[in-house]
Structure 1
Amino acid sequence: MKKPLTFLLLFFLVAGAVFAGDKARHEAAQKGKKPGFDKTAVAPPFTQTKFHQVGNLWLAVTNFGMFGNEGNRPSCEFPANSNIDYLFSGAIWIGAIVDRPDGTGVDTLVSHGYDGWQPSWYELFPGFAEADSIVERTTRPNTPNYDSLAVSEQDYVAVYTDTNTAFAWEGHQKPLGLKITQRSYAWSYSYAEDFVIFDFLIENISGLIGPPRTFKKLFMGVYVDGDCGLRSIPNYHADDITGFLRVNSDGDTVNVAWIKDNDGDNGLTPGVTGIRVLFPDPKTISYNWWDPPTDWGPTNPANPFDYSGHPDTDAKKYRIMSNGEIDPDQTQSNPPPGIDPSGMDTRYFLSFGPFDVPPDSTLKLTLAYLGGQPEGENDEFDDLGINARWARDVYDNPPADGIPDFSGPPPPPSPNMEIIPSDKTVTIRWDNSSESTVDKFSRLQDFQGYRIYRSRSGILNEMEKLGEYDQVDGFGYDFGFDALNPITDPANGKVWYTYIDRGLTNGEFLYYAVTAFDSGYAPTGLESLESSPVINLKRVAPSVGPEQEQAMQEVLVVPNPYRLSANYADIGWERGISDTDRRIDFTNLPPRCTIRIYSLAGDLLDTIEHDYPVKSAIRHSESWDLVTRNIQAIASGIYLFTVTSETGTYVGKFAVIY
């Protein structure tokens, strides 16, 4: 999917959902409060978690110095919509040497978002008001978060400090005096879908909490607890491996710390994720890793700053941050007896520096969080290395001049799309809003055509192309748009196109998307660019579609019988292979009804309330995971169900066999 460019390159991924408030973190902050502090006197910090979700790597970001979602979905899901996770949690650490206020010497201090070993050691917090929430901006016109200040399709801007000792854990009583502005940028473009860039502004505000003092020999570090695997696999977190990629397949120095599943779970977890520094080029870079259950990691006996074990004090943390060691790849390490380097619950730490930051000044640091997966003849490390180079070039367009660009050539925007289900048929309609966009780099209106995609899973690299239609202009296939039955809306002049997908199975959930692509730009060697299917991806289930006022019709169960021994994940029907990934669908439902599932003995196993708007694309179908209301997976046998609506009750049965 990646194509070499000789001009401008781009980056990351996106889209987002919001999870505000973070009650658990509020509670953790209160539990770790300073002794004697009255937590009822002041509201807790206004912490938030939001998600980059528009590209092929979904990543959770926060306004308290952490990233990832601590085991919840999505954390770092790659590829998008796959339920394959590569991150439990990560956090930034910032350490420096400062003069003591009384002039008696120096202190070595480290402030961090998360310790990694102690679950309640939090030291970075936003303010207390809603105004301290994460700001979302986008370059997409005519969308709710459009902002002329945005630099990506989804910017998240968070501000937090290390000065709130009242809500930090009780050991954090000597803050450095940091104010951190964190900007994360993401795009959906096909050549920039596998990474997110973080831009940090580290401001010295020590004068607000005491005498102003210079941060000497400051190092920044990123702690990562990976947990790589398909979420449905038991103990998927326990067999990770980590390493350090110095040079990519093209010979570019990339210095990426990475983590992946040790054996790829037999093809279920084939990718790798990692982090690289984009700016500035550090004098010293360190990469260290540990096996937390045994508290062991590789060490260099000749380096007193390189030691194994939990760095439970600021001094120990700083020693690791600044030790300059690049640990051997995990599979090449030599652990003591009883520790298997071929796979463990591994954590790694990438750090870099040093920098001096005087009072009231700001240090800019930029990182990229990357993914890589096998593509064609390239393995996951080839792809990771390519993405690492692209991230650097997007940050500073080649030929590099040291000035951040955060830009690249975009494809046309995705069109507005709607889907209409009917009997064994799905109708896809979209408008011509993509066709009038002017590319700001070529200054040309370079729209070329549309592509229609379908998928059972919704996973980006499992999309099936149903059709491609382009302008008749000597570029591409010259199919034209007549086959799409264009109709002009007299009210606003918009043109609407229609594509009909026939011969489908009623009740089977499917995903559809329509993308727009351009003609590229020959003078710079830029190939045709396409918008991401994720932008307007919609889920639908074809159905006969009884309306609420009609008499109850036959309700179907798909599949019937359900085979416990079948691997439905292979055909995209299910997301995984565990009991909690199982799925049957009740189809041909009224838009509003109640489904009750019973054993043959008449015991109520589960109740599902089905209530969708009349125009919803899935209003006539509902899924069930074959797990009872008592959280028990059902066994083989015959089961009864009822569907009750305003128009009556339907009684049916289905079988579960081995």
Structure 2
Amino acid sequence: MGYKVMKEKHLQTGYLHWLLLFALLIGVQILHAQEDIYIDPNRGAKEFRKELIMNSNKVESIVGNWGIFGKVNHPYSGVWPKGTGHGHVHEMTILVGAEVTGIDGQTYHIISDSYGDFPDRAPDGTEYFWNPKPGYANDHRIYINPNTGEIDSTSLIATSTDKTTWPETWPGKDATWNGRWNGYFGKDQFMADQECIYVMDDFTNSEFPYYPFIADSTRRGLGLQCETRMFQWVHPLAEDQIFIHFQVTNVSDYVYDRNIYFGAFADTHPGGLGASDDDSGFDKKMDMVFAWDHDNIGVWTKYRDILPGYLAWKYLESPGFGDDGIDNDDDGLIDERRDNDAGEWIFGPVGDYGEPKWHWSGDEDGDWDPQVDDVGSDGIGPKDPNYDAPDLDGTEGNGKPDQGEPNFGKTDNDESDQIGLTSFYSPHYGSVYISNDEAIWNYIQPGVFETPAQNSNNLWIFASGPFLLERNQTERFSVCWLFGEDEREIYRNAVTSQRIYDNDYRFTKPPLQPTVKVVPGDGKITLYWDNIAERSRDPVYGYDFEGYRIYRGTNPQMTESQKISDAFGNIVYRKPIAQFDLKDGIKGLHPIAMGEELGEEYSSGIHYYLGDDTGLKYYYEDTDVQNGVTYYYAVVSYDKGYYPGMDDRNLVPMSPSESPFKFTYEYGELKEKSVNAVIATPNAPATNYKPGYTDADEYGNISKVNNSSATGSIKVKIVDPDILPDQNQFQVSFSHILNELGEITTKTYTIKNLTTNEVIFDSVEIPIDPATNAPVSSWNTPIFSGMILSFENKFPDFDIIKAVSGWSGDYKTNLIPEIIKSSQGTIPMNVAIEITDTLASHPFKKDYQVYFKVYDFYTNDSIPFFFSYDKNGDYKIGEGDQISLIAPTGTGKLVKAYKITFNAPTDPNVEVIDPQPGDVFYLKSDSPFKEGDLYQFTTFQSGLLEVGKEVLDKVAVVPNPYVVAASWEQESVLSGRGERKIYFIHLPAECTIRIFTQNGVLVKTIQHSGVASDGSATWDLTTDEGLEVSFGIYIYHIEAPGIGEKVGTFGIIN
């Protein structure tokens, strides 16, 4: 199925609709109005330099807060794809160049940059660099690594994904911003999957006798301040990009009158550091420069099957001319600006953005909508999750656009007459140095487009300019760092990047990452996770969570899962080992192919698989594993995407996106992993290990503790036996709805720990089946205290009622009861009609008594009834008599539920025998869980068994003998042959392992005291002194306190 979503911008009205829909959907905004640009009085300095690894999608790179992207000789310098170690950039720096007049009257060309290779330095060694201003990050960061428990006090660039990097207060922000994210999109607004921020200045660039501040000769350079932000999205359409937004303010005392340029200097190596066959190109129409390896063969030793591909830098936003009377960006608008006020209410043209209309003159493209955009200058409106109060400046709801509101001024990227890429020069490495300001100046002049050094180690020098920069004026410069497998993909990614930028960086976000735990077992690995992802809200599509996928691999990149390619052979999606999705009717292949959102010509031909309406689960037991092998897992949440006809909102079609995951290694050591990523090695448990358990029956069913009529079942599944609390009693209860027909619908369940008095789940609503719009009959809880409960609810079925109801026990009568449903609904009732020899009960609202009683056989409570027909008038049940059972309804009225007629035998020759005292008729039905139903169970913690010495007979060494590298040894994540190790398996929970040479020399002592569920220990084939052992036969001695000792041998051979 194909849907033509949009064509090239400004060429078709379809794009207008796409853009306006995005503008109307969300109330997010850039905070920085021209008049509100914070000019930071503090001075940048080298001591405030910090770094950060951006790695929330496939691009993984070190960045520095002094204007660098990638870093000389760093292992994460422009790595793509993430985890491969394939660095594509030696280093890159932004540059700003201007022509100025020094105090000596001479003309100088000053280039402010931060390039670290052969840098420009003062005689005293001071670098003429951009330097970060203080206050934009936490200088006293304390982070406890959840993977290692180590304390990390490294101060990093402030990033949205790590609250420990945020400062206590933000420069230029009031106290309401304390503890909040200083987002591009507003206070505590997290539109991107990762965002970072820093501010720097060029005041240390004192190379030339130019003094930009009249009253302060110590602040030099060009007198510029630059706020820098970076963004990453994980959606497949944007997973190969880092977006970078610069906000450059002239804080000097002079005007730069169209004599200033904004660009970059880079040493790229698309084939890897040391490659000397770089090719470079440019596309002026796309405002893009790009590079590729000439023979498409990289120099990396790892993942050589992954080809170098392409990398590019694309201008998304550049300085504009708002006063030259020319439509520089060909959008039908002349001299639009982003630093103006609302202007006047006028009727007039809006360029290629639609027909003439009423709009504010300052909103040149006419897309500001007061219904959704009039949220005020602070960036938060009533529909935002962290909204607390209206703007103090009165801008919220004032009926006109203000700087900081969506789709106006700084937040509307279409309101700028941009000039784009104006130069690109790609010389041979070593022929031009960044320290040569005059040479760089010559190469950034408009119209210089040369690539003289092809198939060699070359450089990039590119810029946009010249432009006007008044005193205290700010210009914005946005680029996108792109990667792709080939030229076609790099162009498609460029189009995607431009679309995201053109929509003010508003892009779909995946659901939150679930927090995953892992339990290694014997021949199995169990994963379990929480349900936080189901509460995610997409800024465009709202609450659109759909399901979970599980990926597995034997390396951090999980290359085994990278199996699904698009129509052009590019690996796009991973193949999950398991998938669980909502029962909502949204299943199968998503109608929108990835890329089709941009137009049919950009379709990749690949559709995301949404699942099979399996229902959600919160654990997965993987039995397709081998003991001793280390496995990497990720549980990702994914959304529904959007397609025409999905609902009545008529939003922009979008293919689904899934939450990211990451394993970050530095020099072979795991430094970080995301909350939805785990690592586990299955092994047999300790031989004296007794796992935690419950008092449920052999099938896991827990018991009712009262006379409940519910016929459903609740089963407990132990997922993590080692965290079960000891002798804790849990209780399950319900609430229900009684409708106007008398039918019962289970509404909520509650689970309480009676021992601790903690309510685990409080009145959780039963999931709804979209096919019936009624609660589902089976569902699971999220994991709690190491276990999960599975519910199987039962509802009455009239055919089953008739089949299972009847006389019970040693009855004498031969009357045949006939059951007729009197109500439109099927009411759950479990009723006994017991014949008595004395008057036993009153029919409903009657003053006489009858010789039988009617009651609920679970609770013994009386059931109201009518004795509808008493043929003989003897107050006894006989041939032809009728009884009607009465039930309450949700309206407070009573209703006849069932009519029971006692008929004579079908054979007229058989003598009728009326019911005798002691005969009981039972009407039986399935009954759903309801208020008053209580179930309870008790948990018991894991422990150790008392065992004899014979358990040591199971101890073994694998592999034995050890030969070079065993199949389960994990290959090094960066380089080399990987870790050498052997396993001792089937160990008791506590023991000491001593390893000797044949001559009796002790080479290694291993204390095994891990968790009892893991009965294995590893040896890395090194001595206690850290030396590698030689080949030969070794003797091991195991001493287990309270159990015994064992001696054995193993070999290491070449």
- Say whether the fold is shared (TM-score over 0.5): yes
Q: Do the aligned partners of residues 654 and 185 (structure 1) sit closer, same or farther apart at CA in structure 2, a change above 3 Å counting?
A: farther
Aligned to 1:439: 538
Alpha-carbon separation, structure 2, partners of 1:439 and 1:215: 43
Q: Do the aligned partners of residues 163 and 315 (structure 1) sit closer, same or farther apart at CA in structure 2, a change above 3 Å counting?
A: same
For 1:109, give the aligned amino acid.
I
For 1:257, give the aligned amino acid.
F
Structure 1: stretches of 5+ with no match in the other structure:
11-41, 231-235, 297-308, 334-340, 374-379, 398-404, 487-496
Q: Do the aligned partners of residues 213 and 451 (structure 1) sit closer, same or farther apart at CA in structure 2, a change above 3 Å counting?
A: same
Alpha-carbon separation, structure 2, partners of 1:607 and 1:274: 54
What's the TM-score, normalizing by structure 2? 0.45
The structure with higher relative contact order (CA 8 Å, sep 6+) is 1
Query: Contact 1:554–1:588 (CA<8 Å) still a contact in 2?
Result: yes
Q: What does 1:312-327 align with in structure 2 at a 5 Å threshold?
A: 312-322=435-445, 324-327=447-450
**Post-superposition shift, 1:457?**
1.9
Q: Do the aligned partners of residues 225 and 356 (structure 1) sit closer, same or farther apart at CA in structure 2, a change above 3 Å counting?
A: same
The worse-fitting range, judged by mean Cα deviation, of 65-74 and 433-442 is 433-442
Aligned to 2:261: 219
Query: Contact 1:137–1:145 (CA<8 Å) still a contact in 2?
Result: no
For 2:132, give the aligned amino acid.
P
**Post-superposition shift, 1:394?**
0.6
Residues 84-130 of structure 1 deviation map (CA, whole Å, 9 limit, x = unaligned):
2212322111111123346x243211111115334864511124666
Alpha-carbon separation, structure 2, partners of 1:429 and 1:357: 56
Alpha-carbon separation, structure 1, partners of 2:1006 and 2:62: 30
Alpha-carbon separation, structure 1, partners of 2:991 and 2:131: 45
Aligned to 2:337: none
1:255 to 288, 291, 316: 288
For 1:448, give the aligned amino acid.
E
**Post-superposition shift, 1:555?**
7.0
Specify the SS of the correspondent of 1:267: coil
**Post-superposition shift, 1:544?**
2.0
Q: Do the aligned partners of residues 385 and 522 (structure 1) sit closer, same or farther apart at CA in structure 2, a change above 3 Å counting?
A: same
**Post-superposition shift, 1:563?**
4.2
For 2:223, give the aligned amino acid.
G
Alpha-carbon separation, structure 2, partners of 1:500 and 1:118: 55
1:467 correspondence with 2:578: yes
Aligned to 1:395: 501
Query: Contact 1:90–1:114 (CA<8 Å) still a contact in 2?
Result: yes
Aligned to 1:364: 476
Q: What does 1:153-552 align with in structure 2 at a 5 Å threshold?
A: 153-164=193-204, 175-207=221-253, 212-214=254-256, 216-228=258-270, 236-246=273-283, 253=286, 255-260=288-293, 262-265=295-298, 267-280=305-318, 281-282=418-419, 284-292=421-429, 295-296=430-431, 309-310=432-433, 312-322=435-445, 324-328=447-451, 330=453, 333=454, 341=455, 343-344=456-457, 346-373=458-485, 380-397=486-503, 405-443=504-542, 445-459=543-557, 462-463=560-561, 464-477=575-588, 479-481=612-614, 486=617, 497-523=618-644, 524-534=652-662, 536-546=676-686
Alpha-carbon separation, structure 2, partners of 1:327 and 1:609: 66
Specify the SS of the correspondent of 2:47: coil
Aligned to 1:574: 971
Alpha-carbon separation, structure 2, partners of 1:213 and 1:221: 19
Query: Contact 1:76–1:85 (CA<8 Å) still a contact in 2?
Result: yes
Specify the SS of the correspondent of 2:132: coil
Q: Do the aligned partners of residues 511 and 556 (structure 1) sit closer, same or farther apart at CA in structure 2, a change above 3 Å counting?
A: farther
For 2:118, give the aligned amino acid.
W
Aligned to 1:400: none
**Post-superposition shift, 1:200?**
0.4
Query: Contact 1:78–1:271 (CA<8 Å) still a contact in 2?
Result: no
Q: What RMSD, in angstroms, separates the aligned Cα atoms of the two structures? A: 4.7
Query: Contact 2:98–2:260 (CA<8 Å) still a contact in 1?
Result: yes
Q: Do the aligned partners of residues 112 and 576 (structure 1) sit closer, same or farther apart at CA in structure 2, a change above 3 Å counting?
A: same
Q: Percent identity?
A: 22
1:117 correspondence with 2:118: yes
Q: Do the aligned partners of residues 117 and 139 (structure 1) sit closer, same or farther apart at CA in structure 2, a change above 3 Å counting?
A: closer
Query: Contact 1:64–1:160 (CA<8 Å) still a contact in 2?
Result: yes
Aligned to 1:655: 1052
**Post-superposition shift, 1:49?**
0.4
Specify the SS of the correspondent of 2:438: helix
Alpha-carbon separation, structure 2, partners of 1:205 and 1:189: 38
For 1:286, give the aligned amino acid.
S
For 1:125, give the aligned amino acid.
N
**Post-superposition shift, 1:264?**
2.1
Alpha-carbon separation, structure 2, partners of 1:448 and 1:200: 36
Specify the SS of the correspondent of 1:220: strand
**Post-superposition shift, 1:134?**
2.8
Q: Do the aligned partners of residues 326 and 640 (structure 1) sit closer, same or farther apart at CA in structure 2, a change above 3 Å counting?
A: farther
For 1:387, give the aligned amino acid.
N
For 2:492, give the aligned amino acid.
I
Q: Do the aligned partners of residues 135 and 602 (structure 1) sit closer, same or farther apart at CA in structure 2, a change above 3 Å counting?
A: farther
Query: Contact 2:78–2:87 (CA<8 Å) still a contact in 1?
Result: yes
Q: How many residues are aligned here? A: 545
Query: Contact 2:549–2:576 (CA<8 Å) still a contact in 1?
Result: yes
Alpha-carbon separation, structure 2, partners of 1:80 and 1:216: 40
Query: Contact 1:59–1:76 (CA<8 Å) still a contact in 2?
Result: yes
The worse-fitting range, judged by mean Cα deviation, of 192-201 and 583-592 is 583-592
The worse-fitting range, judged by mean Cα deviation, of 173-182 and 597-606 is 597-606
Structure with the greater alpha carbon radius of gyration: 2
Q: Do the aligned partners of residues 573 and 216 (structure 1) sit closer, same or farther apart at CA in structure 2, a change above 3 Å counting?
A: same
Alpha-carbon separation, structure 1, partners of 2:474 and 2:629: 55
Q: Do the aligned partners of residues 278 and 422 (structure 1) sit closer, same or farther apart at CA in structure 2, a change above 3 Å counting?
A: same
Q: Do the aligned partners of residues 134 and 461 (structure 1) sit closer, same or farther apart at CA in structure 2, a change above 3 Å counting?
A: same
Alpha-carbon separation, structure 2, partners of 1:521 and 1:62: 37
Aligned to 1:58: 60
For 2:193, give the aligned amino acid.
E
Alpha-carbon separation, structure 2, partners of 1:239 and 1:592: 57
The worse-fitting range, judged by mean Cα deviation, of 646-655 and 80-89 is 646-655
